[in-house]
Structure 1
Amino acid sequence: MTLQSAPASPQPARARTDSGAPDAPRRRLRFPSAFTVLFVVTVAVWALTFVIPAGRYDTKDGSPVPGTYHSVELTTGFWQRLKDLFLAPVNGLYGVTDAGTGLTAPGGTGSFAGAAGVFLFILAVGAFITVTMRTGALTAGVARLAQRLHHRRTLLLVVLLTVFSLGGTTYGMAEETLGFYGLMIPLMLSLGYDRMVAATVVMVGAGVGTLASTVNPFATGVASDSAGIGTGDGIVLRLVMWVCLTALAAAYVVRYARRVTEDPSRSLTPLTEDDLRIKAEGGEAAKLTSRQRTVLYLFATTFLFMIFAVVPWSDLHVTFLPTLGWYFPELAALFIVAAVAVGLVGGLGEKGTVNAVTAGAGDFIGAALIVMLARGVTVIMNNASVTDTILDVLQSAVADTSSGVFAVLMFAVNLPLAFFVPSSSGHAALAMPILAPLADFAGVSRALVVTAYQSASGWVNLVTPTSAVVMGGLALAKVRYDRYLRFMAPLMGALLVAVAGFLALGAAVR
């Protein structure tokens, strides 16, 4: 987040000291990155483990048994715990929990506690998305769609917003949206709309899709893994949410767009001379080649197959479809193979495909490292036996609430976390190990806690100034942040009420 005074025009002279020398320019205050936040959290949690009493629950089938919490005495001394802090990132990647001592450390034998599977999966998805973007197929596909629906502008708004929402719900479309503003702005201006419509078709579309993620690997996938459930668990509720919330967002954007065309004076981003010139020139639609069509088919087929592979069809009583039960290892392999196939089919060649795969993995290494760091925090708490103590306190706080109230409370608890940790994957890996077991006490599915978390993360990330996607998109669209907030305020309220209702409904129909 950047805090600075509004610029004046022309630029004022700098203030001078008594000696006549100009003062140094005022330094900008920036909100720390997710890495810095997680570093501070890691050290703070480690320090708190010396204050929080150690304790554990008895477990059954991996879940804590209510009423069995008891104090335990730690056998690790200060230097061992200091070593845990030092090794936290490593343990977060490939730590192994010893069955006898319950302590997590690199190497040894026992159950795997690290996030290596998630780590590799994120890199594979990043490679796949980057390869697809480099073929130009996604941009050309959206342009072609816009060209076909150019004379049916209301339908075009709905379809485009739905396309971006589909990207959000399936693979957490975020930074990828930044490449579409150059296409959307001339198109929307030529249709008689303003820059706010162009910005929100992209940003609100992808944002609402991420809020109602169905199989988004960076939100649903990481959270489900941290909660100890499958990615497909709870997909029916999330699918209904996606349809309804996307329709709500589309209706809101269309309502504003119609208001602007009927009365341009009501626009939050009035047209400038440059906008009028762009409007007169109209938007150019790129031609969709046969290669790009094939790439789009491969792109869609890959995500459709991922959905098919992770959904527990037998639990949904769908007997004519096999339940593959795929998890992160299989899905990582799927996206690696698909990335190579898309690159070769898309005409990138051997060298271009390899470069795109490595560049994509590099672009997404930040998200993967955040998951690793967040998992390291979990290891510190578990090695100090304070996770169950925190869980016991939270369980006492929600013990007398109904399942519906519990679900809404989970949503509320995740809102401040989403602001301080804008990375959805880092937020999931940090919060789910503590919050998910609370569902066992409340008598609701852990999948509902996952849905509450991702809804809170998606809701906050629609407007948070700590998001590079929001601030970068608004900069590209040349839309002021305060005007965007004014546009979003009613929609944010409607989404808040709708999400709370869906969570309460999900708790009631378990």
Structure 2
Amino acid sequence: MKKNKEKKKFEFPTAFTVLFIILILAAILTYMVPAGLYAKLEYDSEQNIFTVVNPEGEVSELPATQETLDSLNIKMDLSKFTDGSIKKPIAIPDTYETIQQSPQGLLPVIMSPIMGIMDTVDIMVFVLILGGIIGLVNKTGTFDAGIAALSKKTKGKEFLLVIFVTALIALGGTTFGLAEETIALYPILMPIFIASGYDAIVAIAAIYMGSSIGSMFSTVNPFSVVIASNAAGISFNEGLTFRIIALILATIITLVYIYYYARKVRKDPKSSIVHEDMDKIEERFLKNYDPNNVAPFNWKRILILVVFLGAFPVMIWGVSSGGWWFPEMGGLFLSVAIIIMFLSGLSEKEAINTFVAGAADLVGVALIIGVARAINIVMDDGMISDTLLFYTSSIIRNMNGGIFAGVQMILFSFLGFFIPSSSGLATLSMPIMAPLADTVGVARDVVVTAYNWGQGWMAFITPTGLILATLEMVDVTYNKWLKFILPLMGIIGVFSIAMLVIQTLL
């Protein structure tokens, strides 16, 4: 007798497997793509000199004068270096040279995740502390009580929450690059969205796309558009009005797209892309939530929520004005955790164990951040990033203005996959790309816009960015996110290229 074998259903690989596949592909590229480097120039503020490192690694010193910049064909004002606007080394135009190949074999590939974890330990500690706080707040019943109170207030107007969250985060993205910090919002907002009848995709879209649209259509973000403008030798005010208009239109397009999906899910939960996973997701985020049996939202729980939520404006101030980064943000949230321990009424042992258990829940998210960094390490050590920049800049020479702008955005999307750091890509590419605009009669602010929109557009899906850590946090696989986001990505892509063409005509 033949046994009826049930066909095994294909399961999309986990975020870790996706990253390791890309890591291996990146290592293969280091064998195929010629290694090469541009000479790099950096300002030494202590000695008031420029140091130049050529592709062979030889270091020379030059006087920090405008004449030096002009002689190197760097079309930037000296003040951009002396006032600290440009802090990172910049690529010197027309200095690209191929160098000895540096292929990344088995040992570098194995070691790269370890190096990536060491390189991102500050972000990982922040994530683990955040997990500990979420565990504490959940233990006190504060989230459940808050969700019940909010659900009563927003009944019948649930999509206003989506609009508010998306617009507010987009504002943070466009002004100071709010991105990694949004990881803290998922454990807070996910239960609220689910309790309102939406699925996990709607919550991710509101938070992640709010950040992505804001960062993509940056107006005054110092980590992208300001650095890029400085490196292009122009003021960030050039093209600002146009970028504001594009930001508003792109945010409206995104909200309309989310609205139609969210309405469909509320009418028929089975139409959700993550319908088969929602039981597991609800178990995670609404484990003890019963709308008919919720602890009272009393003064103690309100105080805990105020302390927790009060950390966010402090964090935003610290990042945007106080020079903070993840160590300072980690210190802030650790202080909040200690305060909540005292307010919780839990015993010392129970409070500590709850914090540790909460941190343990986010270990996977923290590790993904480190493994994603490994991909960049392999490509940097293989010395192929400058080669990719050299080839892409060669493609757009002597193009028609409108085509030049659109193709530049696509090329910056490609470069953004390999160089996910917005400031790193700006300082590396702008001295090379911006002068090309002069040769085709296009204003340099168009190049800055193309850079910003291109890299931001790729961030919707790039595994080397933040998306896999986000999906791991909410138990959604990468293929399901792609199914949701690719149509919107296409719409935003066409919109952006059309707007770039219009900008070249202004």
Please state which band the TM-score falls in when normalised by the shorter chain: 0.5 to 0.7
Amino acid at match of 1:68: T
Pair 1:90–1:497, CA change in 2 (3 A) = same
Contact 1:291 1:347 in 2 (8 A): no
C-alpha deviation, 1:470, in angstroms: 11
1:137 aligned partner: 142
1:158 aligns with 2:163: no
Alignment map for 1:158-237 (pairs within 5 Å): 158-159=160-161, 161-163=163-165, 171-172=182-183, 173-174=185-186, 178-180=190-192, 183-185=195-197, 202=203, 204-212=205-213
Work out which of the residue numbers 370, 373, 376 in structure 1 matches 2:371. 373
1:89 aligned partner: 113
Unaligned runs of 5+ in 2: 43-88, 171-177, 231-235, 273-289, 435-444
Secondary structure in structure 2 of the residue aligned to 1:300: helix
> Cα RMSD over matched residues?
5.2
String of CA shifts for 1:84-106, please: whole Å, max 9, x gaps.
Answer: 33322222233xxxxxxxxxxxx
* Cα distance between partner residues in 1 of 2:107 and 2:264: 61
C-alpha deviation, 1:328, in angstroms: 2.2
2:428 aligned partner: 437
String of CA shifts for 1:418-464, please: whole Å, max 9, x gaps.
Answer: xxxxxxxx9947x9866873344333698985665455444799xx9
Alignment map for 1:33-182 (pairs within 5 Å): 33-61=14-42, 62-73=89-100, 82-94=106-118, 114-150=119-155, 153-154=156-157, 156-159=158-161, 161-163=163-165, 171-172=182-183, 173-174=185-186, 178-180=190-192
Amino acid at match of 1:42: L
Contact 1:448 1:507 in 2 (8 A): no
Alignment map for 1:442-453 (pairs within 5 Å): 442-443=433-434, 449=451, 452-453=454-455
* Cα distance between partner residues in 1 of 2:503 and 2:475: 35
* Cα distance between partner residues in 1 of 2:122 and 2:448: 21
* Cα distance between partner residues in 2 of 1:214 and 1:122: 21
Alignment map for 1:276-291 (pairs within 5 Å): 284=292, 286=294, 287-291=296-300
Contact 2:26 2:379 in 1 (8 A): yes
String of CA shifts for 1:154-210, please: whole Å, max 9, x gaps.
Answer: 4x431355247757965144466553465223xxxxxxxxxxx67776454334334
Pair 1:120–1:49, CA change in 2 (3 A) = same
Work out which of the residue numbers 332, 351, 354 in structure 2 matches 1:353. 351
C-alpha deviation, 1:359, in angstroms: 2.8
Secondary structure in structure 1 of the residue aligned to 2:17: helix
* Cα distance between partner residues in 2 of 1:51 and 1:205: 40
Contact 1:140 1:285 in 2 (8 A): no
* Cα distance between partner residues in 2 of 1:489 and 1:67: 37
Contact 1:343 1:353 in 2 (8 A): yes
Contact 2:389 2:429 in 1 (8 A): yes
Amino acid at match of 1:325: G
1:292 aligned partner: 301
2:284 aligned partner: none
C-alpha deviation, 1:59, in angstroms: 0.8
String of CA shifts for 1:80-125, please: whole Å, max 9, x gaps.
Answer: 955433322222233xxxxxxxxxxxxxxxxxxx233333333333
Contact 1:211 1:456 in 2 (8 A): no
Contact 1:378 1:433 in 2 (8 A): no
C-alpha deviation, 1:302, in angstroms: 1.1
Pair 1:331–1:468, CA change in 2 (3 A) = closer
C-alpha deviation, 1:325, in angstroms: 1.0
* Cα distance between partner residues in 2 of 1:126 and 1:370: 15
Contact 2:409 2:451 in 1 (8 A): no
Alignment map for 1:467-506 (pairs within 5 Å): 495=492
Pair 1:81–1:143, CA change in 2 (3 A) = same
1:391 aligned partner: 389
* Cα distance between partner residues in 2 of 1:115 and 1:508: 43
2:13 aligned partner: 32
Contact 1:209 1:242 in 2 (8 A): no
* Cα distance between partner residues in 1 of 2:383 and 2:112: 15
1:405 aligned partner: 406
Amino acid at match of 2:160: V
* Cα distance between partner residues in 2 of 1:358 and 1:436: 40
* Cα distance between partner residues in 2 of 1:54 and 1:258: 50
Pair 1:503–1:296, CA change in 2 (3 A) = farther
Secondary structure in structure 2 of the residue aligned to 1:39: helix
* Cα distance between partner residues in 2 of 1:118 and 1:177: 21
Pair 1:358–1:375, CA change in 2 (3 A) = same
Work out which of the residue numbers 281, 304, 319 in structure 2 matches 1:310. 319
Pair 1:376–1:459, CA change in 2 (3 A) = closer
* Cα distance between partner residues in 2 of 1:221 and 1:120: 25
Secondary structure in structure 2 of the residue aligned to 1:85: helix
String of CA shifts for 1:387-409, please: whole Å, max 9, x gaps.
Answer: 32222222323455768536742
* Cα distance between partner residues in 2 of 1:362 and 1:221: 34
Pair 1:390–1:306, CA change in 2 (3 A) = same
Bigger mean CA offset, 163-172 vs 331-340: 163-172
Amino acid at match of 1:31: F
C-alpha deviation, 1:52, in angstroms: 2.6
Q: TM-score, normalised by structure 2?
A: 0.60
Aligned length: 396
Contact 2:366 2:469 in 1 (8 A): no
* Cα distance between partner residues in 1 of 2:252 and 2:334: 33
* Cα distance between partner residues in 1 of 2:21 and 2:261: 42
* Cα distance between partner residues in 2 of 1:128 and 1:242: 34
Pair 1:147–1:48, CA change in 2 (3 A) = closer
